[in-house]
């Protein structure tokens, strides 16, 4: 029998377990990458330019909705495959050809206009820094071709719930950055962070494009040149809000870079390091849960099971928030030893650690709402509604811009982080109110009380953990890295031994929800 694209499927429990495990490994490798960068270059001009070099490439990705490609493609392509597989392949080929063309064209324009774009996105940089920033941008920009085309193929794999390539992509991507950043200067006469920029493009090619493409081809993917299809207009209508909607979530990292460039040397780097730490729980919990649940949410709506849809989304919110709230509280009070372990050393000293820790504490505050957004937005998209998240996000963005420019930049880095946290929080809460108005309160039933109880159970343990960590850091006469490791270990044990009994007594629904989640994942793997 000839191979078909629709081969072995992965269930939601297996998918969540796979994505969570690979997300954990990816985050670990990503932090190792940042540790090497901070050790070599600290928080200065070179790292500022490196982080700022992603503004234009990421903007191209957002412009073509690369990060949300699967959201717009999956519902249409999935239904098309159910009705006529040959027609579905023509539709996919048409999408791929247009994305490839647009990505190549925008990348070429970005390379040609790199210098004026550098001055635009980093207005606080000197002409010399802008010139080097443009050099970095020209190296990184081609990677967006692989990101965008890879997103098309990944959406195709998601339809059949094949999550392995997507799970491996960030691991290979980060490994490519580290390998080139550390290895290339030993072989070729390149200086500064040029090797890391090369690694970005190489990692994008290998991780986000080549592996998904090879996997799809092994499943009998059929691809041929095509430029028109009846469903293309419908896809464009659904994608247009994502293309035009400049949501605060999508541009949050870019705002930290742009406005950070106006707040003094090293600010872009410190904000980038702090955001890396603050996003760790979001990546470990939210992204995996959202990516794994979305195809199943679409399937439930397609089959007309609205009750099952609400139940699945509600369970995902409860589980994710039951994990993220205590994690965020503990990380907020342990920010100094965490930043010390991850970044301090080499050119990244104690002063930089303290500064980045303060920023991380501010950016950790809205992390539970990042989780809510990751799941709730996919609830909107599963309903075919891409306009509401885009429109509300665009309005929130426009309201935040004056706050960034007129208050945050003159005030300093902490104010830039505060506007970021406030903007994200306002956007997600507004989106939740719109959901309740249009789709009812079933998904959020009991959720506020659940969150308050979880937070109340987490605070005593986090406070005890903070006291123990401070005592260790002040009294232990060891190397700062060793002292921070001991502080985290003892503080983490104190938090767990305090939080878990309190949660079992006063918030049993939280422990039961999380326990059932992990038991289901283990059962699905057996």
Q: How far apart are CA 217 and CA 171, in angstroms?
A: 21
Q: Which residues pair with 6 in a beta bridge?
A: none
**What sign does the dihedral 58-62-63-64 (CA atoms) show?**
positive
The contacts of residue 248 (CB under 8 Å, 6+ apart) are 393, 396, 397, 400, 423, 424, 427
Helix (H) or strand (E) holding 160: none
Q: How far apart are CA 75 and CA 239, in angstroms?
A: 12
Instruction: Tell me which residue has tokens 């920023």.
Output: 359
Domain boundaries, the chain: 7-244, 245-443
Q: Which residues pair with 348 in a beta bridge?
A: 345
Measured between alpha carbons, how far apart are the two ends of the chain, in Å? 29
Record the pTM: 0.83
- Angle (CA) 91 250 144, round 5°: 55
Shortest CA distance to 112 belongs to which of 137, 146, 78, 83? 137
DSSP character string of 254-304: HHHHHHHTTS-TTHHHHHHHHHHHHTHHIIIIIIHHHHHHHHHHHHHHHTT
DSSP character string of 83-136: H-HHHHHHHHHHHHHHHHHHHHHHHHHHHHTHHHHHHHH-TTS-HHHHHHHHHH
Backbone angles phi, psi at 348, to 5 degrees: -105, 100
pLDDT value, residue 14: 54
Instruction: Tell me which residue has tokens 């030893």.
Output: 337
Indicate the burial class of 519 (C-beta count within 10 angstroms; 0-12, 13-18, 19 or more). Answer: exposed
pLDDT tens-digit profile, the chain (526 residues) = 333 444 444 455 555 555 666 667 777 888 889 889 999 998 888 999 999 999 888 888 777 755 556 667 777 777 787 778 888 888 888 888 988 998 899 999 999 999 999 999 899 899 999 999 999 999 999 999 999 888 888 888 877 767 777 778 888 999 999 999 999 999 988 888 999 999 999 999 999 899 888 888 877 677 788 888 888 787 777 777 666 656 778 888 889 999 999 998 899 999 999 999 999 888 877 666 666 677 677 778 877 888 888 888 888 888 889 889 999 999 999 999 999 999 988 889 899 999 999 999 999 999 999 999 988 888 888 887 878 888 898 899 999 999 999 999 999 999 999 999 999 999 999 999 999 999 989 999 889 998 999 999 999 999 999 999 999 988 988 888 899 999 999 999 999 999 988 888 877 766 665 555 544 544 444 4
């Amino acid at each position: 029998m000839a191979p078909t694209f629709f081969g072995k499927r992965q269930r939601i429990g297996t998918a969540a377990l796979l994505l969570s495990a690979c997300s954990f490994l990816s985050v670990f490798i990503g932090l190792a990458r940042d540790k090497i960068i901070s050790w070599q270059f600290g928080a200065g001009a070179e790292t500022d330019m490196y982080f700022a070099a992603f503004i234009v490439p990421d903007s191209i990705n957002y412009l073509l909705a690369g990060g949300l490609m699967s959201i717009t493609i999956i519902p249409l392509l999935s239904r098309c495959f159910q009705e006529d597989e040959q027609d579905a392949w023509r539709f996919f080929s048409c999408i791929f050809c247009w994305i490839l063309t647009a990505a190549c064209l925008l990348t070429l324009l970005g390379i040609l206009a790199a210098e004026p774009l550098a001055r635009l996105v980093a207005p606080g940089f000197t002409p010399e820094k802008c010139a080097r920033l443009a050099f970095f941008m020209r190296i990184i920009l081609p990677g967006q071709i692989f990101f965008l085309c890879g997103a098309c193929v990944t959406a195709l794999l998601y339809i059949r719930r094949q999550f392995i390539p997507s799970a491996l992509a960030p691991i290979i991507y980060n490994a490519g950055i580290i390998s080139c950043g550390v290895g290339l200067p030993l072989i070729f006469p390149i200086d500064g962070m040029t090797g890391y920029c090369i690694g970005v493009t190489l990692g994008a090619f290998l991780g986000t494009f080549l592996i998904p493409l090879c996997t799809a081809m092994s499943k009998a993917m059929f691809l041929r040149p095509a430029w028109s299809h009846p469903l293309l207009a419908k896809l464009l209508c659904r994608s247009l809000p994502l293309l035009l909607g400049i949501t605060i979530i999508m541009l949050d990292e870019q705002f930290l870079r742009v406005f950070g460039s106006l707040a003094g040397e090293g600010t872009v780097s410190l904000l980038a390091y702090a955001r890396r730490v603050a996003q760790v729980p979001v990546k470990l919990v939210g992204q995996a849960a959202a990516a794994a649940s979305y195809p199943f949410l679409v399937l439930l709506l397609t089959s007309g099971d609205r009750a099952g849809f609400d139940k699945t989304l509600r369970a995902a919110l409860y589980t994710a928030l039951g994990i993220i709230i205590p994690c965020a509280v503990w990380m907020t009070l342990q920010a100094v030893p965490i930043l010390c372990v991850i970044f301090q050393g080499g050119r990244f000293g104690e002063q930089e650690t303290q500064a980045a820790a303060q920023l991380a504490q501010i950016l950790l505050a809205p992390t539970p709402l990042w989780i809510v957004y990751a799941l709730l937005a996919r609830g909107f998209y599963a309903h075919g509604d891409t306009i509401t998240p885009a429109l509300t996000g665009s309005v929130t963005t426009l309201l935040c811009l004056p706050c960034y420019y007129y208050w945050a930049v003159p005030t300093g880095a902490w104010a830039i982080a505060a506007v970021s946290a406030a903007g994200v929080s306002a956007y997600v809460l507004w989106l939740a109110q719109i959901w309740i108005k249009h789709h009812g309160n079933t998904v959020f039933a009991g959720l506020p009380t659940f969150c308050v109880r979880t937070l109340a159970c987490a605070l005593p343990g986090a406070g005890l953990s903070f006291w123990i960590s401070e005592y260790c850091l002040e009294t232990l006469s060891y190397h700062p890295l060793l002292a921070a490791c001991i502080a985290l270990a003892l503080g983490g044990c104190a938090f767990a031994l305090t939080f878990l009994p309190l949660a079992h007594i006063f918030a049993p629904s939280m422990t039961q929800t999380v326990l059932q989640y992990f038991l289901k994942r283990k059962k699905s793997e057996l």
